[in-house]
């Protein structure tokens, strides 16, 4: 592609060099630059791409996109000066891959909890309705039946547009993607055309990155602010910040809720460990998911499907048969009747939702034993809050490791223990090794008790000192149940 074509609709401030240059790839990592690449110097959280201009040129870059010209210019290089390289990276990636988001209906889902479940349910629903569909999620990316491993909740702009291009080329009608607050702030979705946006909820999370809860809310809100008038904006009106998301959007505004008047309404009629009966807009439907939080997730899915012009009865019929995302209230049963639940809950609100649901569903005499850890190098303020919630809603709690990353596991555990009242300490155990903590919880459980393993959900690794080791909560749970 010629540079002239690639710069279509790009807000260029200054150009030094030739426009009729062939560009064979777009990169923002100098290590991935090859012959005839365009390199975008992005100022990131950990490093600044402007420090690697020489390296990019050595590796074959012919065009450099930056926000400040270097003192000495090379005659053979074209320099493109822009105000915001992060934003322009998204536009360039979209241009390079032929505006793929316009070739299908792209729906973004944002919020603290529920993003993965809503995106996965929408993917499964539309697939069952006969469409060819794409998925971009924390757990996995999919194009039809083809699975592509996920490394981030929202990929970088180049990977994102490349995946969308593949989806369009393979005939996808829709793509459902999680949109993280990090992705919004870091401009990873710049240049994308969304057919709709869905807001699940917002609670305490990611303050290590955003600094304040207000900044976190504004990051989520910006996604809706940027939607155009041809899109829909669907929000959870029961969340106290739900309507905030709609304040400045040009999109078609719609709401869903269980408690408040809304465009899409539902209520839980019956709830069991293997599913629940919902009444959705006056129609009853049995679903395989459990809990009030999943009632919200399913209602969001229903609302989005109707806004995407699907038939009500076909949607409800399909909803009755679809499964949720891996590692989200994932139930495993032992031969003696003990119930194990693996869940990705890693915020205070998510832990409270899961444990409240378990308490509502348990029968008399069933103990709840919770295994809980917190990730290292992440928001420290939520650690004591998560422990407090777990202790308050469980009969016994084992505090353990999650992904310590570069932190000392015991330091993380001490942060969590600060949230445990002295009168409750006799019901709380500390086992730093996560595998042993899971095994201990299973051995503490009597026939019929419920063991919740919270925090990692679908993850198949544990990260310690920058190294990822194979680790699967569900695998360990099943192994331990089989030994009993």
Closest CA to 297 of 176, 201, 197, 175: 201
**pLDDT tens, position by position, 379-402:** 899 999 999 999 999 999 999 999
- How far is Cα 194 from Cα 237, in angstroms, rounded to an integer? 21
If asked whether residues 305 and 402 sit together in one domain, one would say: no
**pLDDT tens, position by position, 184-202:** 989 999 999 999 999 999 9
Task: Please report where in the chains the tokens 């000392």 appear, as a residue.
Answer: 408
C-alpha pair distances (Å), 17 with each of 4, 23, 27, 44, 81: 12, 14, 19, 26, 11
pLDDT at 239: 95
pLDDT at 420: 97
Task: Please report where in the chains the tokens 């993965």 appear, as a residue.
Answer: 116
Exposure string for 149-168, b = 16+ CB within 10 A, e = fewer:
ebeebbbbbbbbbbbbbbbb
Residue 47 region, left (φ>0) first, then alpha (ψ -120 to 50), else beta?
Answer: beta
Q: Say if 278 falls within a structural domain.
A: yes
Q: Say if 91 falls within a structural domain.
A: yes
* Predicted TM-score (pTM) of this structure: 0.86
Domain boundary residue among 42, 63, 96? 96
If asked whether residues 121 and 205 sit together in one domain, one would say: yes
Task: Please give the average per-residue pLDDT across 244-248, as a whole number.
Answer: 95
**Lowest-confidence segment of 41-45, 128-132, 151-155, 223-227 by average pLDDT:** 151-155
Closest CA to 348 of 303, 384, 295: 384
Domain boundary residue among 63, 96, 129? 96
- Confidence grade of residue 210 (pLDDT, cut at 50, 70, 90): very low
30 carries a ligand binding annotation: yes
pLDDT at 255 over 60: yes
155 carries a ligand binding annotation: no
If asked whether residues 73 and 139 sit together in one domain, one would say: no
Task: Please give the average per-residue pLDDT across 63-92, as a whole number.
Answer: 97
DSSP 3-state of 222: helix
153 carries a ligand binding annotation: yes
188 carries a ligand binding annotation: yes
Q: Say if 119 falls within a structural domain.
A: yes
pLDDT at 46: 82
If asked whether residues 199 and 146 sit together in one domain, one would say: yes
User: Domain residues for 135?
Assistant: 98-320
Contact 26, 99 (CB under 8 A): no
Provide the β-strand partners of residue 15: 80
Residue-averaged pLDDT of the chain:
94
**pLDDT tens, position by position, 11-27:** 999 999 999 999 999 99
Percent of the chain with pLDDT over 70: 98
Written as six digits, the tokens of 92 are 């360039």
Cα 253–chain centre separation: 23
DSSP 3-state of 279: strand
Q: Say if 325 falls within a structural domain.
A: no
pLDDT at 219: 87
378 carries a ligand binding annotation: yes
pLDDT at 153: 66
Number of domains in the chain: 3
DSSP secondary structure letter of residue 243: G
Provide the β-strand partners of residue 256: 236, 264
114 carries a ligand binding annotation: yes
Helix axis angle, 85-96 to 157-169, nearest 10°: 20
459 carries a ligand binding annotation: yes
403 carries a ligand binding annotation: yes
402 carries a ligand binding annotation: yes
Kindly report the backbone phi and psi dihedral angles of residue 65, in degrees, each rounded to the nearest multiple of 5, phi listed first.
Answer: -105, 125
Cα 375–chain centre separation: 16
Task: Please give the average per-residue pLDDT across 87-95, as a whole number.
Answer: 97
DSSP 3-state of 219: helix
Q: How many CB atoms lie within 10 A of CB 252?
A: 14
pLDDT at 208: 52
Sign of CA dihedral 425, 431, 434, 439: negative
Supply the CATH number for residue 442's domain: 3.90.190.20
312 carries a ligand binding annotation: no
If asked whether residues 88 and 217 sit together in one domain, one would say: no
Sign of CA dihedral 61, 62, 65, 68: positive
If asked whether residues 24 and 165 sit together in one domain, one would say: no
Task: Please give the average per-residue pLDDT across 451-469, as a whole number.
Answer: 94
Task: Please give the average per-residue pLDDT across 279-301, as a whole number.
Answer: 96
If asked whether residues 137 and 163 sit together in one domain, one would say: yes
Pairing status of strand 252-257 against strand 264-272: parallel
Written as six digits, the tokens of 223 are 């996604």
If asked whether residues 185 and 266 sit together in one domain, one would say: yes
113 carries a ligand binding annotation: yes
């Amino acid at each position: 592609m010629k540079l002239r074509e690639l710069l279509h609709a790009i807000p260029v401030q200054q150009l030094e060099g030739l426009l009729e240059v062939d560009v064979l790839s777009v990169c923002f990592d100098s290590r991935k630059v090859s012959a005839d690449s365009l390199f975008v110097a992005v100022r990131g959280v950990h490093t600044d791409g402007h420090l690697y201009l020489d390296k990019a040129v050595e590796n074959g870059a012919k065009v450099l996109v930056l926000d400040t010209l270097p003192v000495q210019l090379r005659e053979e290089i074209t320099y493109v000066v822009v105000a915001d390289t992060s934003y322009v990276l998204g536009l360039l990636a979209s241009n390079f891959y032929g505006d793929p988001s316009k070739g299908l209906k792209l729906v973004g889902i944002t919020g603290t909890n529920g993003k993965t479940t809503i995106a996965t349910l929408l993917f499964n629903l539309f697939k069952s309705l006969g469409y060819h569909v794409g998925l971009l999620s924390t757990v996995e990316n999919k194009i039809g039946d083809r699975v592509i491993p996920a490394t981030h909740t929202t990929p970088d702009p180049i990977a994102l547009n490349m995946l969308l291009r593949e989806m369009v080329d393979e005939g996808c009608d829709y793509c459902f993607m999680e949109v993280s607050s990090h992705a919004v702030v870091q401009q990873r979705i710049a240049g994308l055309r969304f057919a709709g946006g869905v807001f699940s909820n917002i609670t305490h999370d990611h303050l290590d990155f955003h600094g304040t809860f207000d900044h976190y809310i504004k990051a989520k809100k910006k996604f809706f602010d940027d939607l155009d008038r041809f899109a829909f904006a669907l929000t959870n009106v029961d969340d106290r910040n739900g309507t905030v998301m709609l304040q400045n959007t040009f999109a078609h505004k719609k709401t869903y809720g269980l408690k408040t008047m809304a465009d899409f309404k539902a209520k839980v009629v019956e709830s069991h460990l293997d599913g629940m009966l919902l009444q959705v807009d006056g129609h009853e439907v049995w679903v395989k998911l459990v809990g009030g939080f999943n009632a919200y997730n399913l209602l969001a899915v229903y609302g989005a499907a109707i806004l995407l012009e699907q038939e009500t009865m076909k949607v409800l019929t399909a909803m009755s048969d679809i499964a949720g995302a891996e590692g989200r209230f994932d139930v495993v049963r032992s031969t003696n009747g003990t119930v194990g639940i693996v869940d990705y809950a890693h915020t205070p609100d998510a832990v409270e939702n899961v444990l409240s649901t378990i308490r509502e569903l348990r029968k008399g005499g069933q103990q709840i034993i919770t295994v809980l850890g917190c990730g290292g190098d992440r928001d420290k303020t939520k650690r004591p809050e998560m422990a407090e919630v777990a202790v308050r809603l469980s009969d016994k709690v084992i505090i353990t490791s999650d992904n310590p990353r570069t932190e000392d596991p015991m330091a993380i555990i001490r942060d969590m223990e600060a949230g445990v009242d002295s009168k409750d300490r006799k019901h709380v155990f500390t086992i730093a090794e996560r595998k042993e903590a899971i095994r201990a919880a299973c051995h503490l459980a009597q026939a019929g008790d419920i063991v919740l393993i919270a925090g990692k959900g679908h993850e198949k690794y544990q990260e310690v000192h920058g190294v990822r080791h194979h680790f699967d909560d569900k695998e360990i749970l099943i192994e331990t149940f089989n030994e009993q």
